[in-house]
Amino acid sequence: MTMSGLGNFLAAGAEAGRGGGHSAVGAILDAVRQHLGMEIAFASRYVGDEREFTHLSADIPLPSAPGDREPVDQSYCWHILNGRLPELIHDAADFPFAQTLPISAALPVGAHISVPLRLADGSVYGSFCCLSRSPDRSLTERDLATVRAFADLAAAQIALGEDEARRRAAIVARTRTAITGGEPTIHLQPIHRLDAGATVGAEALARFPDWRDRPPNLWFEEAFDVGLGVALELAAAERALAALPFVPKGQYLSVNVSPATLLSGQLEALVKSHRRDRLVIEITEHARVADHDALRRALAPLRDHARIAIDDVGAGYAGLQTIIAFAPDILKLDMSLTRGIDGDPAKRALAVALVRFASEIGSTIVAEGIEREAERDVLLGLGVAYGQGWAFSKAMPVVSAQQRMLGLDLTRAQDVADPAAPPEALLKRAGRC
């Protein structure tokens, strides 16, 4: 096989691997097996005194599958590694010791080539093997060198997989520790009337211990990557709801959740004791919603206990189809639309259209990311009644937010903003809970 042919195999294997099918190592095994005209190729790893098959390629039915294990001393590869058999075997019948191994008669084994899989540090991970049931005396040292080259490619891919497995294991451990340890903590960013500046509610934003250096959105993205995203969002939602008693009477708390968490059916138990006028469920869309009907059904039992808001309107995936499907009570204008709106006619035109649209469907507009009075003035003039951002107040610990919402802390947000804190745009993107 040519190197371009190998490239095609690897590309195909990588593409399939992204869909949960064949892997790059599998593609390498396919390539070497077809190049040598052999029936079986496999990669394995040594785990204590056992050999575990990790990848298999064959054009005949096999009794083994990835994950199967057997004692190392029953395998050719182990004895080859320890010098009892040669790496290149034209015919297993030529070696009396080979005939003592159960597989020799069971398969039977004819031609056999095996080389160790070595990681970058030189340690032996396992073996890389090709074999057929028939002898093949045409195999040469050049074929053995080819197998070694393919094995090096496979070892590199395996090392990447091992690194990825360690990365994912670290994320799982970190996420589970955060959940059991009471993380994330919650900060509240008050939501204000644009005309008088009075607060009407607050958005709950997740904060992890490293939030100044590592945006909270990375926690959620990584958690979803390892299957713990819903668990982390539910933990954050539970922490956020615990802050609701600190929100003054007549004002509301907005809690962010993703469509995946809504579809899990687990949110209803957390919100069923709350009232619509006190709670808003804010749907954060960071991926396209595939099934609007399913999500609409998931929202139905929540509407007795909370109003529904759509986040990031005017950006991302919060398109008109989503808005129509969810019939939200609140539309939250994305900061990419509000930022600099005083100097951008196109943004103003889009905001006007969204204000008119919200009025027609009975929704309220809340503008996010307002940092300057000029932005507030323009939005107010366009008919936007509510907003949040550092022009009013930053996200702050729950008790501090309560004081602000009660009017007990009249210090302007820019006077108390922490100069070491990340910019609001970063925190807003990162602060879902």
- φ, ψ (nearest 5 deg) of residue 306: -155, 150
Measured CA angle at 198 (ends 197, 200), to 5 deg: 125
Return all residues near 307 (Cβ < 8 A) that are at least 6 apart.
252, 276, 279, 280, 281, 329, 330
Q: Is residue 177 part of a domain?
A: no
Q: Given a cut of 60, is residue 318 above it in pLDDT?
A: no
* Within-domain flag for 175: no
Q: How confident is the model at residue 161 (pLDDT cuts 50, 70, 90)?
A: confident
- pLDDT score recorded for residue 64: 86
Report the distance separating Cα 129 and Cα 105, nearest Å: 18
Both 340 and 420 in one domain: the answer is yes
Q: Which domain holds residue 395?
A: 183-430
Q: Report whether pLDDT(423) > 60.
A: no
236 with 338, same domain?
A: yes
Mean pLDDT confidence for 346-353: 94
Same domain? For 318 and 383 the reply is: yes
The three-class DSSP label of residue 419 is coil
Are 378 and 348 contacting, i.e. CB atoms less than 8 angstroms apart?
yes
Residue 54 in any domain: the answer is yes
Q: What global pTM score does this model have? A: 0.75
Does residue 415 carry a pLDDT above 90? no
What is the C-alpha separation between 317 and 287, in angstroms, rounded? Answer: 7
Three-state DSSP state, 22: coil
Domain final residue, candidates 167, 194, 225: 167
Whether 264 and 213 have beta carbons less than 8 Å apart is answered as: no
| Bigger pLDDT: 267 vs 409 | 267
Residues 141 and 270 both lie in one domain: no
In a shared domain, residues 242 and 214 = yes
| 162 plus 189 within the same structural domain | no
Q: Which of 14-28, 245-259, 346-360 has the lowest mean pLDDT?
A: 14-28
Domain CATH number, residue 128 = 3.30.450.40
Domain-located, residue 178: no
* 126 in a structural domain: yes
- In tens, the pLDDT along 268-277 reads 999 999 999 9
The 10 Å Cβ neighbour count of residue 429 is: 18
The pLDDT value given to residue 291: 84
- pLDDT on residue 257: 95
Please tell me whether residues 190 and 145 are part of one structural domain: no
Mean pLDDT of the chain: 88
Cβ atoms of 382 and 350 within 8 Å: the answer is no
Question: Is pLDDT above 80 for 266?
Answer: yes
Q: Look at 297-311, 387-401, 415-429 and tell me which has the smallest mean pLDDT.
A: 415-429
Residue 13 shares a structural domain with residue 93: yes
Helical (H) or strand (E) element with 42: strand 40-47
Domain-embedded: residue 295: yes
For residues 154 and 117, the answer to whether their CB atoms sit within 8 Å is yes
Total structural domains within the chain = 2
Domain CATH for 207? 3.20.20.450
